Amino acid sequence: MRHVTLPGCWGALVLACLSFTPSLLPRGGLIQGVISGITAAIGYGLGVLIAFVWRAFADRGPRAPRRWAWRVFLIAAVVLLAVAIGFGQYWQYEIRKLMGVTDYNIPLAIASPFIAALTFGALLLTGRALRRVYRWAARLLRRWIGPRAAKGVGWILVAGVAYAVVTGLLLDGFVGLANAAFSLRDTKTPEGVHQPTTSARSGGQGSIVPWDSLGWQGRSFTGTGPSTADIAKFVHHPAEEPIRAYAGLASADNAESRAALAVNDLQREGGFQRKNLLVVTTTGSGWVDPSSVDTFEYLSGGDSATVAIQYSYLPSWLSYLVDQSKAKEAGRALFDAVYEDWSKLPPNKRPRLFVAGESLGSFGGEAAFSGEYDLRNRTAGTLFVGPPNFNTLFREFSDHREKGSPEIQPIYKGGRTVRFTNNPGSEIPPEDRPWEGSRALYLMHPSDPIVWWSPRLILNEPEWISQHPGKDVLKSMFWIPFATFWQITADLPFSTEVPAGHGHKYTAEYVDGWNAVMRPAGITSQTLDHLREIIASGG
């Protein structure tokens, strides 16, 4: 026990136990072990810090703990960890049952404590290496300044260097390598996707956007989708061929020029002569959720056009961290370019103008609008799905919701324009108030960590936990300062690794979402059931 401190061990024990409390998503043994190890390391550091502050106020140096103190700790550790792991397994079982998750690796669950111990040990050794660097720096500085100043400056230097290494060399280096790797992938074409022969798609016959410049996601977007025959079979009458316009990172030098190019190709294809026009802000590497656009095209009977542009090579989860400004720039540039041409058309010749975005795409999609009236006046409808908690308009609408309405399904201004739902297949609140004119709908799962993650979780209990939880969130979930923030943070990388309808995985919900926003004629409940089956099957 000579190489660890008792206060640090108590801190590690407390936070390790808290890491087993329920979060939003289910976890396997490997992930739980890593999370528990990181949490324990953070707890160890906090325990050491608290003890240091306490000694400073008491004006005394560190004392060796008595032998019985270690015995008490070891007994408490065995009991508390056994209880925490037991409750953790029970909570994980309940979460898996809520979401219909059947995968469960028993060997990894058994190995979880050992994985946690290895992770904790590695982080503890890293911390001690930094401490040795600090002591070396302090000794060196004592040659020129006093002992107290040397200690203070030494800590500042070590903290600064560590921050620079993590955020500079490691993070920037990782992002650079990821950017290079995914830019190479962007030159390839997904399996089963072929260059369109039709003139209704960018990269196809007569298109001013070269097929090779569209990128991996752009080629997937323009090279797939329901055919005219598919749509005609669904609507039971002849259908038009949907138009899809797209510009990739290699298509033009910046967001504004890519937007102009995509809109020019949209004009060439006759997109402004269609009845329905959809502007999509992509996520991450230029991905457009096929469930959203396919649904839009089916419900419009093919009389539609969709336009999007790429703003990053990085996948969605990494773009979420480093490309927020690019998403905002792309969303604003594309909508402004479309709106400029759209607004010049005679009012009776304009298509209905819709806007959509999922995740970081909703953040970019919001960027073109100043508020509720702007959404109402410049669009026929918007559908934002899985909005990140930092979205400007989302926060404005949610924070100023009507008193008594829950955070997971807020009511803003009587629902006159903007509404929220986690189940668009049911009545969207407030059911007793009119929803006329342009409709703006936010679709979000109660278990989606992208929606609920916020730094405010560190010290402030959110209302979505204290209020009645959503249908796929455990009623036993509770807020703990700092711990809940870390738990939700740990959920973020795995937000789509759950069945459809949970976490950040949206598929068939688009059917009811777009039906509510578009209000197409002649759609029955049986028609919607059929379309849900089509979208859920990926066809």
Q: What is the pLDDT along the chain (539 residues), one digit of tens a residue?
A: 457 889 899 999 999 999 999 999 999 889 899 999 999 999 998 998 898 888 777 777 777 788 888 899 999 999 999 999 999 999 999 999 999 888 888 888 889 999 999 999 999 988 888 888 878 888 888 888 888 787 777 778 877 777 776 666 666 666 677 666 777 778 889 999 999 999 999 999 999 999 999 999 999 999 999 999 999 999 999 999 999 999 999 999 999 999 999 999 999 999 999 999 999 999 878 999 999 999 999 999 999 999 999 998 877 767 777 778 899 999 999 999 999 999 999 999 999 999 999 999 999 999 999 999 999 999 999 999 999 999 999 999 999 999 999 999 999 999 999 999 998 988 899 999 999 999 999 999 999 999 999 999 999 999 998 887 788 999 889 898 888 898 898 898 889 889 999 999 999 999 999 999 999 998 999 999 999 999 998 86
- Letter for the amino acid at 260? A
Q: Which of helix, strand or coil describes residue 477? A: coil
* Residue 488: count of CB within 10 angstroms of its CB: 21
pLDDT at 26: 93
**Cα dihedral 279/284/287/289 (nearest 10):** -70
d(CA 394, CA 410): 10
- Tokens coding 226: 């329901």
- Closest-CA residue to 287 (of 309, 258, 264, 320): 309
Q: Which DSSP letter does residue 280 get?
A: E
User: How does DSSP assign 311-364, residue by residue?
Assistant: --SS-HHHHHHH-HHHHHHHHHHHHHHHHHHHHTS-GGGPPEEEEEEETHHHHH
Domain ranges, ordered by start, for the chain: 1-143+458-498, 188-445+506-537
Q: Which of helix, strand or coil describes residue 382? A: strand
d(CA 520, CA 231): 14
* Residue 272: count of CB within 10 angstroms of its CB: 20
Radius of gyration of the chain (CA): 27
| Cis amide leading into 493 (omega within 30) | no
Long-range contacts from 524-532, C-beta under 8 angstroms, 24+ separation: 527/234, 530/234, 531/234, 531/295, 531/298, 531/299, 532/508
* CB-based contact 362:383 (threshold 8 Å): no
d(CA 219, CA 15): 47
d(CA 257, CA 255): 6
d(CA 510, CA 520): 14
Partnered with residue 353 across adjacent β-strands are 277
pTM for the whole thing?
Answer: 0.90
- Letter for the amino acid at 50? I
Q: Which of helix, strand or coil describes residue 372? A: helix
pLDDT at 148: 78
**Cα dihedral 370/374/380/383 (nearest 10):** 30
Q: Which of helix, strand or coil describes residue 2? A: coil
